[in-house]
């Protein structure tokens, strides 16, 4: 995808240094290719008892360091690895340390919904800050207010341009297309999506009985004889998406596509989506696919967006303006 033109600046004093944990080396390599650099050398290994060892293999004194590490499965291992990497760079005298987190784990526990629960989204923010991160670059946080849990800088970017560009290339007739939010909580996200596609918006009203279990009740909006694009920030066990797709078809939808920034795809998710009445499941590579999937799944690269954001942070340029329509994301 293309970004608005800007005048690039050169910072000869402090070089950009890109590093990656073991969570998603392929994405790190793609980002490095976009930036015209390479991923820096590190030793990361586990001791016999499972403890993580990290050693940086080059001098990064006075440099801007960017560490790429999604907090995906195994989330606890990847989180601890990121914290240890941050600590290593801090002790190696990096000028700044930006944790590039394509998928921010523990984000769904962002408030107390019952008594005696933890707010882990805040806890993770505290851990990253205490470890020594100077800045966070995150994509499609589950809720935007997570940015307020940090006492350091947070750049929140979105996969929407990548997803909408792909949908446009499907050449769905404009009068047929409808963007659908699978729940009321995702309405603002879907509204931005609908505006980019210049199409109407519909909402699936659902209730959640248990963790990872959702029941779709009814549709708000017109989907009869329409081609629906279900828009969500993540697909975990796929219960919400599959229930919503079935309801849309019962209400007269012609076809259903699924779009999500993060394909967590836990447990039965892949099989559920294979069996679900959806044409295509479109996700990004914020999380690596660790299993074989059919041609029903399409994974789009977010490396250009992350690479451009990293470049702009390093050059002290605006990150939000790379989308060209940042006002639409005000409450997203």
276-298: average pLDDT: 95
Instruction: Say yes or no to pLDDT of 9 above 80.
Output: no
**Closest by CA position to 45, among listed 26, 64, 21:** 21
Q: How far apart are CA 235 and CA 258, in angstroms?
A: 10
> For the segment 287-297, what is each residue's pLDDT rounded down to a tens digit?
999 888 999 99
Q: How remote is the C-alpha of 298 from its chain's centroid?
A: 15
Say whether pLDDT at 134 is over 50. yes
With a cut of 80, say whether residue 5 has pLDDT above it: no
* Contact present, 151 and 199 (Cβ < 8 Å): no
SS3 at position 182: coil
| Residue pair 67/311 in contact by the 8 Å Cβ criterion | no
| Chain centroid to CA 78 | 15
Tokens representing 256 are 């259903």
What the chain holds in terms of domains, given with CATH numbers, is 16-158+303-327 (3.40.50.2020), 160-300 (3.40.50.2020)
Q: pLDDT band for position 73 (50/70/90)?
A: very high
Placement of tokens 């044409």 in the chain: 279
> Residues 246-257: what's their mean pLDDT?
97
133 or 14, which is more confident? 133
| Mean of per-residue pLDDT scores for the chain | 92
**Helices (H), ranges, 224-268:** 239-250
Q: Which of 164, 313, 292 is nearest to 229 (CA)?
A: 164
Question: Distance between CA atoms of 215 and 154, rounded to whole angstroms?
Answer: 34
Give the model confidence (pLDDT) of 164-199 as tens digits.
Answer: 999 999 999 999 999 999 988 899 999 999 999 999
Minimal CA–CA distance to 32: which of 63, 66, 3, 6?
Answer: 66
Distance CA 167, CA 62 (A): 43
pTM of the predicted model as reported, rounded to 2 decimal places: 0.92
| Strand 153-157 versus strand 135-139 pairing type | parallel
- Side-by-side strand order, sheet with 153-157: 16-20, 64-68, 96-101, 135-139, 153-157
Which of 1 and 139 is assigned the larger pLDDT? 139
Contacts of 224 (CB under 8 A, 6+ apart): 251, 252, 253
Q: What is the mean pLDDT of residues 136-158?
A: 95
Residue 77: closest CA among 31, 45, 43 = 45
pLDDT in tens, 212-228: 565 667 899 999 999 99
- Tokens representing 68? 């790429």
- pLDDT on residue 10: 45
CB 44 within 8 Å of CB 22: yes
Sign of the C-alpha dihedral computed for residues 32, 35, 38 and 44 taken in this order: negative
- Classify 150 as helix, strand or coil: coil
The b-or-e profile of 146-171 (16+ CB within 10 A means b, else e) is beebbeeebbbbbbbbbbbebbeeee
Which of 122, 159, 138 has its CA nearest to residue 260?
A: 159
Determine the pLDDT at residue 115.
Answer: 92
CA distance 157 to 320: 7
The pLDDT score that the predictor gives to residue 223 is 97
Tokens describing residue 191: 């509204």
The gap from C-alpha 155 to its chain's centroid, in whole angstroms, comes to 13
């Amino acid at each position: 995808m293309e970004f608005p033109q800007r005048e690039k600046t050169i910072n000869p004093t402090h070089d950009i240094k890109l590093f990656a944990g073991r969570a998603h080396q392929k994405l790190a390599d793609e980002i490095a290719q976009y930036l015209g650099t390479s991923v820096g050398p590190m030793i990361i290994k586990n001791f016999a008892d499972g403890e993580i060892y990290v050693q940086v293999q080059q001098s990064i004194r006075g440099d801007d360091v960017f560490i790429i590490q999604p907090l995906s499965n195994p989330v606890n291992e990847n989180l601890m690895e990121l914290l240890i990497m941050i600590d290593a760079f801090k002790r190696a005298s990096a000028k700044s340390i930006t944790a590039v987190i394509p998928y921010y784990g523990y984000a769904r526990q962002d408030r107390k919904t019952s008594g005696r629960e933890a707010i882990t989204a805040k806890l993770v923010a505290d851990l990253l800050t205490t470890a020594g991160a100077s800045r966070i670059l995150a994509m499609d946080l589950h809720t935007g207010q997570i940015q307020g849990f940090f006492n350091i800088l947070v750049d929140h970017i979105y996969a929407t341009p990548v997803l909408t560009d792909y949908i446009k290339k499907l050449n769905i007739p404009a009068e047929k297309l409808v963007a659908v939010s699978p729940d009321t909580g995702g309405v603002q996200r879907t509204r931005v999506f609908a505006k980019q596609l210049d199409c109407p918006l519909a909402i699936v009203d659902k209730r959640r009985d248990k963790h990872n279990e959702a029941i779709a009740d009814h549709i708000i909006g017109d989907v009869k004889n329409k081609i629906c694009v279900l828009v969500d920030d993540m697909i975990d066990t796929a219960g919400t998406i599959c229930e919503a797709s079935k309801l849309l078809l019962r209400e007269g939808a012609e076809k259903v596509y699924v779009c999500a920034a993060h394909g967590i795809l836990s447990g039965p998710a892949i099989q559920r989506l294979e069996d679900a009445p959806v044409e295509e499941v479109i996700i990004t590579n914020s999380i690596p696919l660790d299993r074989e999937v059919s041609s029903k799944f399409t994974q789009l690269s977010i490396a250009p967006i992350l690479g451009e954001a990293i470049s702009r942070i390093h050059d002290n340029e605006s990150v939000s303006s790379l989308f060209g329509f940042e006002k639409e994301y005000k409450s997203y």
